[in-house]
């Protein structure tokens, strides 16, 4: 079963969810802002990412800038930051049994289906 980490306020996330529904792909949809990921969840997703792990954080987001955070994050900074500020997690993310991909662009998700 696939898992889609979804933010309904994000057009890319809505597009990914629409594609999954239209393709009848069995998928658990996790609205991570209302049900934040645990440390274990974040570590698992980060480990599976096919992209650069640092891309998991939205460093160009206004919320990131408002927190006056350093753009030079290390991999060790990611999980604690996203546990405290889940709104900074890149979206959407599709997780399969062995891989995860950030759906920016949507083709990243299609490549792991």
State the catalytic residues.
10
Q: Interhelix angle for 39-48 vs 75-84, to 10°?
A: 140
Beta strands in 1-113 (DSSP E): 2-6, 27-31, 93-95, 100-102
CB distance 87 to 33 below 8 Å: yes
What is the distance between the alpha carbons of residues 44 and 92, in angstroms, rounded to a whole number?
16
Q: Name beta bridge partners: 49.
A: 100
């Amino acid at each position: 079963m696939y898992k889609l980490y979804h933010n309904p306020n994000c057009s890319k996330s809505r597009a990914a969810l629409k594609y999954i529904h239209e393709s009848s792909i069995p998928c658990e949809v996790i609205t991570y802002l209302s049900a934040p990921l645990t440390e274990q969840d974040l570590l698992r997703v980060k480990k599976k990412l096919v992209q650069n792990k640092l891309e998991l954080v939205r460093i160009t987001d206004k919320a990131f800038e408002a927190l006056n955070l350093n753009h030079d994050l290390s991999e060790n900074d990611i999980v604690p930051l996203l546990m405290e500020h889940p709104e900074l997690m890149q979206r959407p993310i599709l997780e399969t049994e062995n891989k995860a991909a950030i759906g920016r662009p949507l083709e990243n998700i299609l490549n792991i289906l």
